[in-house]
């Protein structure tokens, strides 16, 4: 059984481990987090993270962030991170996390949710599309990963 809940400070270690286990150049242009890097910090607070538990075990998370910190952008929230433990993938957890993040954004009064995903990350793009996100733009060759230019795909879902 999968349940979604708000993260707690005590989830820090298991979420950091999921980040370490799921990071690859296919999912992030940023360097891998060094071992021992805390998950929660000034930019990532538990109240902005939803956690999936699968049979009582933390299996993944989704982070919901503010976009630009200006009044004109308050109606938009950003899906700023999504990860599911490798041994729990393929069970619909990612989709449930994204759907829960969309519901939370709506509850917070957002009228739009946006995200960025690497062009070659087709599995994530499929999840987002199944959750109602559409491509709003592509930054061609935005990143250089493994000697290749990689697109940054901008996706969004209207909540209006």
The two structure tokens encoding residue 111: 């009228």
Cα angle: 64, vertex 141, 17; to 5 degrees:
40
pTM of the model: 0.94
Print pLDDT tens along the chain (160 aa). Answer: 999 999 999 999 999 999 999 999 889 999 988 888 999 998 899 999 999 999 999 999 999 999 888 999 999 999 999 999 999 999 999 999 999 999 999 999 999 999 999 999 999 999 999 999 999 999 999 999 999 999 999 999 999 8
Tell me the fold of 2-158.
Aminopeptidase (3.40.630)
DSSP secondary-structure letter at 114? E
Report the alpha-carbon distance of residue 83 to residue 14 in Å, rounded.
12
Domain boundaries of the chain, sorted by first residue: 2-158
């Amino acid at each position: 059984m999968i349940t979604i809940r708000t993260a707690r400070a005590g989830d820090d270690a298991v979420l950091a481990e999921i980040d370490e286990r799921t990071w690859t150049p296919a999912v992030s242009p940023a360097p891998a987090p060094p071992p021992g890097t805390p998950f929660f910090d000034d930019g990532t607070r538990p109240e902005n993270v939803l956690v999936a538990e699968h049979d009582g075990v933390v299996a993944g998370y989704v982070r919901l962030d503010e976009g630009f910190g200006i009044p004109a952008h308050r109606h938009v929230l950003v899906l700023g991170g999504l990860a599911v433990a490798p041994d729990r993938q393929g069970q619909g957890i990612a989709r449930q996390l994204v759907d829960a993040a969309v519901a939370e954004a709506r509850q917070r009064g957002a009228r739009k949710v946006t995200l960025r995903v690497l062009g070659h990350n087709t599995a994530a793009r499929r999840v987002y599309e199944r959750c109602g996100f559409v491509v709003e733009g592509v930054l061609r060759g935005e990143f250089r990963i493994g000697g290749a230019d990689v697109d940054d795909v901008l996706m969004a879902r209207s909540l209006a």
